[in-house]
Amino acid sequence: MKFKKYAKYLGVATLAFGFATGCQSTGTSSNTSTELSANDQVVQSIITDAKAALADAKKEGYAWRDTGKFIKQAEKALADGNTAKATSLATKALQQSELAKKQDAEQDKAVKERFNQS
């Protein structure tokens, strides 16, 4: 199931990157400073998901060191109009948060197995 989730985000990242490079090659930009393009909305949703996953990981005490930094960098890149970089960083932050939750579950299991054996 987790593979499908990562595949979805990888697909979204690839799609956003493709749109971003397509718009750059034509030299046209239709979005204003107040509205987000479809690509920017996708990246923003990934950032939102990454923030929520990071909050869950922090609650369990297994948040990774650089995940918050990646989220901040993704937000800055999105604000600067660098959709490809923002997508990459946001996806990386989301993956790290998911892996942190997985690490938490594996460590809990290992501790239970070790200390419940007599």
36: left (phi over 0), alpha (psi -120 to 50) or beta: beta
pTM: 0.65
pLDDT of residue 38: 84
- Domain parsing of the chain, residue ranges: 37-118
> How many Å apart are CA 4 and CA 8, to the nearest integer?
6
**Are the C-beta atoms of residues 70 and 93 closer than 8 Å to each other?**
yes
Give pLDDT tens digits for 15-49.
655 655 555 544 444 444 446 688 889 999 999 99
10-residue averages of pLDDT along the chain (118 residues): 62 61 50 66 94 92 93 96 94 94 90 76
pLDDT of residue 36: 67
**Are the C-beta atoms of residues 46 and 87 closer than 8 Å to each other?**
yes
pLDDT of residue 112: 85
